[in-house]
Amino acid sequence: GEISLAPRSIESCSQKNVEIQVKKLFVVSAAEPRLPLLIEDAMRADETTGEGIQAPHVLQDTRLDNRVIDLRTPVNQAIYRVEAGVCKLFRDTLDAKGFVEIHTPKIISAASEGGANVFQ
């Protein structure tokens, strides 16, 4: 690409007066044309449709291998919304009673990826 002056200042970047004009673009890894599971299939119960046709069934392994997609189903969204609501209720109740929320470091037996080896 080529670096050129921006027609107007770009407020959302650290380099506000320049931009890159793309000349060539290479696809390193193309996306699959079809997702491994459809949200509509994942949210359907394991039963036949009204016409007696067997609806597609999504296996648990497929759901877990593609968790990002599976989390978009209304059932999973509802579970996390209820969980968030319960946590908020507890937090608000304890906050109203003067409690202080703290986040302590977790002590684990194995080495972690958190950079503790810096202190060796």
Q: What is the pLDDT along the chain (120 residues), one digit of tens a residue?
A: 899 999 999 889 888 899 999 999 999 999 888 888 888 888 877 665 566 666 678 888 988 898 998 899 999 999 999 999 999 999 999 999 999 999 988 777 776 666 555 556
Indicate the domain borders of the chain: 34-101
Q: Can you say whether the dihedral through the CA atoms of 76, 79, 82, 83 is positive or negative? A: negative
Phi, psi of 55 (to 5 degrees): -75, 150
Burial 42-51 (b: 16+ CB within 10 A, else e): beeeeeeeee
**Distance between CA atoms of 39 and 67, rounded to whole angstroms?**
11
Side-chain half-sphere of 55: how many Cα atoms within 13 Å? 16
